[in-house]
Amino acid sequence: MSLPPLRDATDADSEPLAALVAASFSEYPGCLFDWSEFPELRQPASHFARKGGRLWVAAGDGGRIVGSIGVAPVPEQDAVELTKLYVDPQFRGAGLAQALFARTLAFAQERSSAEMMLWSDTRFARGHRFYEKLGFRRWPGERYLADISATWEYHFRKPLADAQP
């Protein structure tokens, strides 16, 4: 299977990106999508640009968004935070997530960031295995979001001194 092309997200990607996120959430019991909890998806490219970050998407047939990843600097920690990593089930295991991750790694390295970090819903076990394969380690502690899904998240970090995708 050939991978769909990656490109910078635009604000026009709002609805298809939200559809990807909602579909990903629907794979997990009790994990619900509600627009009110994701205002950044109304203007996704502008949101990441305001934070000094980037958002990339992979567009499949007909322009349907089949993958996404975002990254933004966390200057007070000399780090970047990875967010919005979602891949359509049809493309899982095909290298799309790795290709998306490579974009965020390049972003971090261009800024000479010391590490990458992310937060992930405790239910997303498959994603956690992927992050660990990339060299992320689960950090002590969890956070509760008090959202409609009653989400608890794990914190993951990856030092970048010897970063390899």
pLDDT tens per residue across span 7-35: 999 999 999 999 999 999 999 999 999 99
Section 89-93 average pLDDT: 92
Smallest CA-to-CA distance from 87 within 132, 137, 124 is with 124
**Does the pLDDT of residue 84 top 90, yes or no?**
yes
Q: In what order do the strands lie in the sheet with 65-74?
A: 6-8, 54-59, 65-74, 79-87, 115-121, 152-159, 137-144
- Give the total residue count for the chain: 165
Q: How far apart are CA 94 and CA 96, in angstroms?
A: 6
Q: Does the 6-159 domain belong in CATH 3.90.1150.10?
A: no
**Does the pLDDT of residue 4 top 70, yes or no?**
yes
pLDDT in tens, 120-149: 999 999 999 999 999 999 999 899 999 999
Domain ranges of the chain: 6-159
> What was the pLDDT predicted at 164?
45
Q: Where are the alpha helices (DSSP H) in 14-95?
A: 14-25, 44-50
> What was the pLDDT predicted at 139?
94
- Assess contact for 129 and 156: CB atoms under 8 A: no
> What was the pLDDT predicted at 62?
83
Q: How confident is the model at residue 162 (pLDDT cuts 50, 70, 90)?
A: low
Query: Residues near 112 by Cβ (< 8 Å), separated by ≥ 6?
Result: none
